Copies of this chain bind each other. A is one copy, B any other.
Amino acid sequence: MLPFARVSIIGLGLIGSSLARAIRAKMPTVRITGTDADPGVRERVRELGLLDDVADSPGAAVVDADLVVLAVPLGAFAAVGAEIAPELAAGAVVSDVGSAKQIVVDSLGPLLPETIHLIPAHPVAGTERSGPDAGFPTLFEGRWCIITPPPGADETALARLSEFWSRLGSKVDLMEPRHHDLVLAVTSHIPHLIAYSIVGTAADLEGVTRGEVIKYSAGGFRDFTRIAASDPTMWRDVFLTNKDAVLEVLGRVSEDLAVLQRAIRWGEGDALFQRFASSRDIRRAIIDAGQDTADPDFGRQH
């Protein structure tokens, strides 16, 4: 039996449209509705035929749904929550794909009626693109989806949501929302922040032109620009909503960088070598875990 029969997706960008495509591919009998704040996006999703019905408002999109998934930037969660709350069917599961999770419990929880089950989730998958044309049905395959049920969450609702993501090809994990936010600060939010920062530094550095930065970017810099091309609205919201964990990890990042800086200043080759040599193990473990390709340079063409 399918975990859900009528799924509504609010926000039809990269993640929302990928979700629609994945449901179509893996659970073709599910009826998919949804909406997006942007009329152009709604129009495009209609053209692409990704949904059974594209509504013009969140309220209209969720009527009847047994699963509602918020796939908008985190800053829009409270507004969407307020709009859908009065329209939700009793017993519906409300979930999301947001990149921070405590904020979802805090901002959405109080808005929803008692008959609704809030089970936040985060598929750890994405690209630097955004919008409905950037989505694709295999985005979640082989990737982890972290579900962060609030204390006392309904077991059946949780089991159904786990089954839903498993059917989409994801591996499912459960976590405390706050722990999720710390782990993702390390594995995703800080890498993005650093990448944005370095790209800004390179663009503004006196003595080196932007043309030079672009020409010689193949030495490593271009890898940072990929991440730093990600959607600025989405990432602004991530840093505003996962502030505590991000600032905590950032403190450690600055300390560790200062240690390397000192080692370079004092010419401590052994310390540098040891630090650098230990990184290879993690790379190997990530490849062994199927979380990246082993092809040199990501298999990029030369």
How many Å lie between the Cα of A139 and that of B302 in the bound state? 6
Q: Is A182 within 8 A of B200, CB to CB? A: no
Least CB distance from A212 to B in Å reads 5
Complex alpha-carbon distance, A240 and B144, angstroms: 40
CB-based contact A127/B296 at 8 Å: yes
* Docked-complex contact A190 and B198, CB < 8 angstroms: yes
A243 at the interface (CB under 8 A from B): yes
B256 close to A184 (CB less than 8 A):
no
In the complex, what distance in Å separates the CA atom of A149 from the CA atom of B62? 68
B261 & A191 in contact (Cβ 8 Å cutoff)? no
Interface range on chain A: under 10, 10 to 19, 20 to 34, or 35 or more? 35 or more
Taking a contact as CB atoms under 8 Å apart, the answer to whether B198 and A191 are in contact is: yes
Complex CA gap A218/B277 in Å reads 22
Taking a contact as CB atoms closer than 8 A, the residue among B192, B217, B220, B291 that contacts A227 in the complex is: B220
Determine which residue in A179, A182, A256 has the highest number of CB atoms from chain B within 10 A of its CB, and name it: A256
Which residues from B are CB-within-8-Å of A240? Answer: 264, 267, 269, 272
Known A-B contacts A276-B232, A276-B236; the reply to A144 vs B226 at CB < 8 A is: no
Stretch of A107-115, A156-164, A282-290 lying at the B interface: A282-290
Which residue, A141, A279, A298, has most C-beta atoms of chain B within 10 A? A279
A6 within 8 Å of B by Cβ?
no
Residues in B whose Cβ lies below 8 Å from that of A226: 223, 283, 292, 297-298
A105: Cβ under 8 A from any B Cβ: no
For chain A, residues 178 to 197, give those with C-beta under 8 angstroms from any C-beta of chain B.
179, 182-184, 186-197
Judged by a CB distance under 8 angstroms, whether A24 is at the interface is: no
Copies of this chain held together in the complex: 2
Residue from B141, B182, B230, B291 in contact with A214 in the complex, judged by beta carbons closer than 8 Å = B291
| Cα–Cα distance between A278 and B228 once the two chains are bound (Å) | 9
Interchain CB contact (< 8 A) of A200 among B136, B139, B146, B279: B279
Across the interface, do B144 and A188 meet the contact criterion of CB distance under 8 Å? no
Q: Interface readout for A229-271 with B: 1 if CB under 8 Å, 0 if not?
A: 1101101110110010011011011101100110011010100
CB atoms of B215 and A144 under 8 A apart: yes
Interface residue from B194, B214, B217, B280 paired with A229 (Cβ < 8 Å) = B280
Interchain residue pairs with CB less than 8 A apart (28): A124-B219, A126-B219, A134-B296, A143-B302, A182-B208, A183-B208, A183-B212, A183-B216, A187-B216, A188-B220, A193-B257, A193-B264, A194-B194, A195-B220, A196-B260, A196-B275, A201-B249, A201-B252, A214-B291, A215-B291, A217-B286, A220-B227, A223-B227, A229-B284, A236-B272, A247-B265, A250-B264, A254-B257
